């Protein structure tokens, strides 16, 4: 089956597909459309976003609709407002030539009155989030008595989001003889449970995750110690001046924190997560679609609302727990035959997770070095030169300033002028990366002598033997609370009421920040630099490798070594202020 015309679709639908330029049905469409057109069976379609599943259920549903009858014949339940709107838009395009067709979308987060008007106008199809639909049913604004087809879209996600009871309530209130079409990215027990309770003998169809084996995706991973994760992200962003991408975090909090930090540094990014209200989320999506934002930092659920086909990079700030979720994330890039890059920042102990995902994706992942400062500067220099070379100034540009310009630069040598222009554009990046360190994990062990000695910081913590700690237990508390690698903590000394330990200088802020928000046996944890600690300093002070006192222990005789200089420069990157394809904003506003 190679074309839509071989399905027995109405002429109006075939016309719309031809207008849209859809030539070949996608695999899920090939599998389910013929069965759904017959319309006499329930089905389960296992397919994720990007596989063309909206058309897979949308075309048959439209085909079954009788436009001369003004009652709700088809109901599509979907987890989020963004998805509802996308489905409605998509369906409207397919039904463009069906005169008299009305499709209403109803979802929470916006005033209900406008939606009541929409549903009272007797649409044949309603796309709804479960909560809002129940609200409308309770207000008797909608009648589902004539319903013939229910589509549960992204069923797994609806269940994950806690809509089970709502879905059950809705399904109980639909006519028994209606057909149910369930679509889900995964077949969890919860999904099967819903199917068993509410569906009649069903047929299952599945297609490989959209891009699970998409060879157009280059899967790369970067191994960094946990405390360097954010710096690594920044470097990857700076190394990709042309990026149009999504950064995935595991939690809403991480999403907010990472986005805020990047924004403070002047990057044109925005968070996108479920704690933001609908209005804000829509605004973010609009700005991303119109390319005012080059990058969105998103959680997995919120990212389902992003319907963009030309994402160049997906960055996993943290790997997801479930390898399958990785394929959902990576599937955001390399859509519609394009190529894309999926980058993952992993700590040394997470390399085994990469191996697991490799098996699922059936592709080899490339371990890639985190670029050093010089590489970033070089990359941005070439990018900027390319921009200059390919710029096409308007014909009459600068006509009125021509004389002034020539007067000003008359005696200036061309090479000098180029140098100045490029310096102006790149100086923030050059400053930021002048003394940048190597972020690749493992480097500090290989580095050795080059840096001329260890660079560590000694920290004080207000917990000691009285809290039931010994060096091992303290090490465990620190590593579990911060995810910091144990080999980076050294020279632990535990006293009665307080303790001391060494960490690499560049990890000290990270550890202080993360541990200070923690409690240990209900005691608020406090950390300070050892030399400033109000705990009176360490008895006998720090006595070098073997001087830790009888309760201290040193697992690493030479201590952690960092040969590179600790990065002194913060912020930076000329692109944040308007160059490098970023739009708007003054140059380097947020520097330092
Ligand atoms: P979906 O999986 O429904 O989110 O669809 C992903 C994208 O693919 C949407 O932008 C659709 O418009 C597009 N699409 C769906 N089916 C086809 C097709 N047969 N040919 C080309 N594009 C399609």
- CATH code, 350: 3.40.50.300
Q: Is the model's pLDDT at 471 over the cut of 80?
A: yes
| Distance in angstroms (rounded) separating the CA atoms of residues 143 and 148 | 12
259 and 344: one domain? yes
Residues 6+ apart with CB under 8 A from 276: 284, 302
Query: What pLDDT is recorded for position 438?
Result: 87
84 and 31: one domain? yes
Taken in order 84, 340, 315, 351, is the CA torsion positive or negative? Answer: positive
**CA dist list (Å): 521 to 109, 406, 412, 470, 512:** 41, 73, 70, 15, 18
The verdict on the CB of residue 52 being under 6 Å from ligand 1 is yes
Atom 1 of ligand 1, nearest CA residue: 52
DSSP one-letter string for 511-570:
HHHHHHT-EETTEEP-EEEGGG-TT---TT----TT-S-TT-B-S-TT-----SPPP---
Asked if residues 490 and 459 have their Cβ atoms less than 8 Å apart, the reply is: no
Query: What pLDDT is recorded for position 48?
Result: 78
* Domain assignment present for 472: yes
* Domain assignment present for 362: yes
Q: Is the model's pLDDT at 447 over the cut of 70?
A: no
The verdict on the CB of residue 22 being under 6 Å from ligand 1 is yes
Percent of the chain with pLDDT over 70: 86
**CA dist list (Å): 190 to 76, 77, 141, 160, 371:** 19, 16, 30, 9, 44
Query: What pLDDT is recorded for position 207?
Result: 80
132 and 37: one domain? yes
* Domain assignment present for 38: yes
* Domain assignment present for 406: no
Pick the last residue of a domain from 324, 353, 373: 373
The verdict on the CB of residue 30 being under 6 Å from ligand 1 is no
Atom 21 of ligand 1, nearest CA residue: 22
Q: Which atom of ligand 1 is nearest to the CA of 53?
A: 3
Asked if residues 272 and 297 have their Cβ atoms less than 8 Å apart, the reply is: yes
168 and 197: one domain? yes
Q: Is the model's pLDDT at 442 over the cut of 70?
A: yes
Query: What pLDDT is recorded for position 209?
Result: 55
Asked if residues 4 and 14 have their Cβ atoms less than 8 Å apart, the reply is: yes
The verdict on the CB of residue 183 being under 6 Å from ligand 1 is no
Query: What pLDDT is recorded for position 551?
Result: 38
Asked if residues 573 and 247 have their Cβ atoms less than 8 Å apart, the reply is: no
Kindly give the distance from the C-alpha atom of residue 242 to the centroid of ligand 1, in angstroms, as a whole number: 25
Q: Is the model's pLDDT at 321 over the cut of 90?
A: no
First to last CA, the chain: 60
CATH of residue 532: 3.30.70.330
Could you tell me the two tokens for 579? Answer: 């160059």
* Domain assignment present for 442: no
273 and 312: one domain? yes
Segment 562-572, tens digit of pLDDT? 222 222 333 33
138 and 170: one domain? yes
Atom 20 of ligand 1, nearest CA residue: 22
Highest average pLDDT, of 106-120, 324-338, 444-458, comes from 106-120
Query: What pLDDT is recorded for position 309?
Result: 82
Query: What pLDDT is recorded for position 18?
Result: 94
111 and 253: one domain? no
Asked if residues 589 and 297 have their Cβ atoms less than 8 Å apart, the reply is: no
| Distance in angstroms (rounded) separating the CA atoms of residues 76 and 92 | 14
- Give the residue among 235, 264, 228, 225 at the shortest CA–CA distance from 432: 235
Kindly give the distance from the C-alpha atom of residue 36 to the centroid of ligand 1, in angstroms, as a whole number: 18
Give the mutation target among 30, 32, 54 for probing the ligand 1 site: most ligand atoms within 8 A of CB.
54
160 and 280: one domain? no
227 and 181: one domain? no
Domain encompassing residue 361: 217-373
Q: How many domains, the chain? A: 3
pLDDT average, residue stretch 354-359: 91
Enumerate the β-bridge partners of residue 315. Answer: 247, 343
Higher per-residue pLDDT: 296 or 405: 296
Percent of the chain with pLDDT over 90: 52
Kindly give the distance from the C-alpha atom of residue 50 to the centroid of ligand 1, in angstroms, as a whole number: 6
Kindly give the distance from the C-alpha atom of residue 30 to the centroid of ligand 1, in angstroms, as a whole number: 13
Beta pairing, strands 519-520 & 269-272: unpaired
464 and 519: one domain? yes
Kindly give the distance from the C-alpha atom of residue 88 to the centroid of ligand 1, in angstroms, as a whole number: 14
140 and 224: one domain? no
State the greatest distance between any 2 C-alpha atoms of the chain, in Å, as a whole number.
91
The verdict on the CB of residue 50 being under 6 Å from ligand 1 is yes
Pick from 202-211, 435-444, 527-536: least confident: 527-536
Could you tell me the two tokens for 586? Answer: 């003054």
321 and 467: one domain? no
- Give the residue among 435, 445, 434, 566 at the shortest CA–CA distance from 509: 566
């Amino acid at each position: 089956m190679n074309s839509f015309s071989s399905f027995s679709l109405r002429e109006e639908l075939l016309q719309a597909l031809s207008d849209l330029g859809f030539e070949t049905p996608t695999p899920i469409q090939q599998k389910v459309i013929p069965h759904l057109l017959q319309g006499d069976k329930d089905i389960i379609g296992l397919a994720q976003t990007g596989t063309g599943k909206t058309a897979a259920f949308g075309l048959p549903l439209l085909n079954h609709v009788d436009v001369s009858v003004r009652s709700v014949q088809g109901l599509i339940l979907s987890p989020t407002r963004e998805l509802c709107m996308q489905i409605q838009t998509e369906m409207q395009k397919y039904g463009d030539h069906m005169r008299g067709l009305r499709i209403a979308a109803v979802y929470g987060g916006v005033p209900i009155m406008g939606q009541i008007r929409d549903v009272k106008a007797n649409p044949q199809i309603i796309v709804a989030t479960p909560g809002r639909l129940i609200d409308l049913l309770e207000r008797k604004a909608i009648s589902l008595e004539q319903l013939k087809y229910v589509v549960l879209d992204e069923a797994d996600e609806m269940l994950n989001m806690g809509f089970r009871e709502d879905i059950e309530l809705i399904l109980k209130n639909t006519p028994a003889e209606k057909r149910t079409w369930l679509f889900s990215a995964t077949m969890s027990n919860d999904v099967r449970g819903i199917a068993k309770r509410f569906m009649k003998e069903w047929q299952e169809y599945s297609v490989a995750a959209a891009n699970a084996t998409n060879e157009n995706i280059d899967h790369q991973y970067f191994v960094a110690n946990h405390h360097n994760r954010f710096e690594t992200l920044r470097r990857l962003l700076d190394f990709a001046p042309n990026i149009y991408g999504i950064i995935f975090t595991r939690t809403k909090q991480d999403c907010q924190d990472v986005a805020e930090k990047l924004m403070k540094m002047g990057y044109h990014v925005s968070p996108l997560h479920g704690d933001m209200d609908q209005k804000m989320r829509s605004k973010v999506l609009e700005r991303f679609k119109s390319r005012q934002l080059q990058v969105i930092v998103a959680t997995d659920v919120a990212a389902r609302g992003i319907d963009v086909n030309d994402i160049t990079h997906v960055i996993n700030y943290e790997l997801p727990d479930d390898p399958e979720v990785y394929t959902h994330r990576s599937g955001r890039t390399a859509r519609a035959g394009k190529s894309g890059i999926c980058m993952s920042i992993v700590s040394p102990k997470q390399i085994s997770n990469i191996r697991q995902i490799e098996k699922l994706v059936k592709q080899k992942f490339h371990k890639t070095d985190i670029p050093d400062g010089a590489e970033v500067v070089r990359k941005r220099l070439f990018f900027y030169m390319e921009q200059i070379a390919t710029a096409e100034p308007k014909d009459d540009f600068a006509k009125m300033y021509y004389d002034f310009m020539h007067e000003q630069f008359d005696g200036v040598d061309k090479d000098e002028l180029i140098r100045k222009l490029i310096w102006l554009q790149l100086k923030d990046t050059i400053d930021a990366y002048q003394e940048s360190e190597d972020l690749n994990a493992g480097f500090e062990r290989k580095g050795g002598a080059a840096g001329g000695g260890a660079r560590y910081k000694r920290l004080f913590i207000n917990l000691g033997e009285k809290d039931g700690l010994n060096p091992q237990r303290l090490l465990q508390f620190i590593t579990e609370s911060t995810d910091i690698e144990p080999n980076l903590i050294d020279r632990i000394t535990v006293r009665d009421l307080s303790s001391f330990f060494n960490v690499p200088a560049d990890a000290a802020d990270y550890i202080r920040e993360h541990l200070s928000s923690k409690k240990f046996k209900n005691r608020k944890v406090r950390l300070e630099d050892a030399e400033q600690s109000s705990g009176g300093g360490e008895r006998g002070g720090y006595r070098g490798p073997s001087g830790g006192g009888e309760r201290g222990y040193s697992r690493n005789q030479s201590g952690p070594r960092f040969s590179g200089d600790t990065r002194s420069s913060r912020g930076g990157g000329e692109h944040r202020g308007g160059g490098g394809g970023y739009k708007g904003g003054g140059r380097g506003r947020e520097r330092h």
